[in-house]
Amino acid sequence: MKTILAFLTLLLALPASAAPLTIELDHASKTWQTADLLAHPDAQTVQVVDDVSYKRNMTYRAVPLAALLPGLKAENHLQAVALDGFAAELSAAPLLEKNGARAWLAVEDPAHPWPALAPGKPSAGPFYLVWTHPQAGHISPEQWPFQVSAFKQLQTVAERFPALVPDPKLAANDPVNLGFALFQKNCLACHRLNGAGDAQVGPDLNVPYSPTEYFGDDFLKRYIRDPQSLRHWPQAKMPAFSASVLPDSELELLVGYLKHMAGRKQQP
C-alpha cells in the first residue's frame, strides 16, 4: 500500500505535459508546440484581473492571439475547440483588437503547471483564451474557453446551421434576431438547438422541449442567472450569467429567441 501511495504522490507531483495547438485557417494551417509558444517573440507575462475560470487574479505567460492568426479578417469566424467537447463560437473582430479588450492565448508551462480549476479537476491548460480589460468589449464567460486544443476558421453559425436561424421574414434588427446573436455568444458553446451545433456538453435547448415550455419566465431567467440555485448536482457545468455579463435587457432578448424557436422545432 505504501508503494502505491508513493507512486500516486509522484504522479501528482509530475509537471503537466507539453501539448500541441492546431490553428486551421482557410489560407493556412499550423500546429504549435507548447515550447514554441512559450518562446514566441510576442510572448509576455500578462496579469488577468478576476479570471473567469479561476475566480481570482491570475498571471500567465501568453501570446496575443492576433499574432497567431495571420491573414484573418474582422468579418471572419472562428471556433475554439476544447478537450471536453466545448466549442466556443468566436467572431474574429474582438480577437484581432489591439486596444480595449484584448485576447491572449495563455500557455501552460509544463515546468510550472497551473492550479486545478477545482478539487479533483484539471487545470485550465494546456491553452486558455484569456482577456485583459474584458469589460471594454463586453466579453462573456463563454469567450474564455480553456483546455483549448484547436482554433478553426469556419463559416458563420447561420451558414453552417440553418436549423438555428429564426424566421427569415424577420428584419435583421428584430428582437428575435438580436436574441439569436446572444444565443451564439452565450449558449452555443455548450448547447445544441434542433440538433444543430458542434457542442457536446449540455442538452439540446429545443428538442424534445424548449426550456421555455417547462419553465415559467421568472424561473427560466433565474435559472440562467444562477443554475445551482434551482438545480444542484456535483457534475453541473453551466456557469451563472450575472447582470454584468448578460444585462436584463439582453436576457429578455435571449429568452425571446428561445420562445420563437420553440415554434420552429426540427428533429435532428
Q: Is 158-262 a CATH 2.60.40.420 domain?
A: yes
- Sign of the CA dihedral with 66 first, then 71, 75, and 76 last: negative
pTM above 0.85? Answer: no
- Residues pairing with 102 in the sheet: 132
- 241 alpha carbon, distance to own chain's centre: 13
Domain with CATH 2.60.40.420 in the chain: 158-262
User: What separation, in Å, do the N-terminal and C-terminal C-alpha atoms of the chain show?
Assistant: 51
- Report d(CA 113, CA 141) in Å as an integer: 23
pLDDT values of the chain reduced to their tens digit, one per residue, 268 residues: 444 444 333 333 334 567 899 999 999 999 999 999 999 999 999 999 999 999 999 999 999 999 999 999 999 999 999 998 788 899 999 999 999 999 999 999 999 999 999 898 899 999 999 999 998 988 888 899 999 999 999 998 899 999 999 999 999 999 999 999 999 988 988 899 999 988 878 899 999 999 999 998 889 999 999 887 776 666 667 877 888 778 999 999 999 999 999 999 998 7
Looking up cell 503537466 gives 16
Q: How many CB atoms lie within 10 A of CB 25?
A: 17
Residue 193: DSSP 8-state: B
- Residues pairing with 123 in the sheet: none
Q: Is 17-154 a CATH 1.10.10.10 domain?
A: no
Domain with CATH 3.90.420.10 in the chain: 17-154
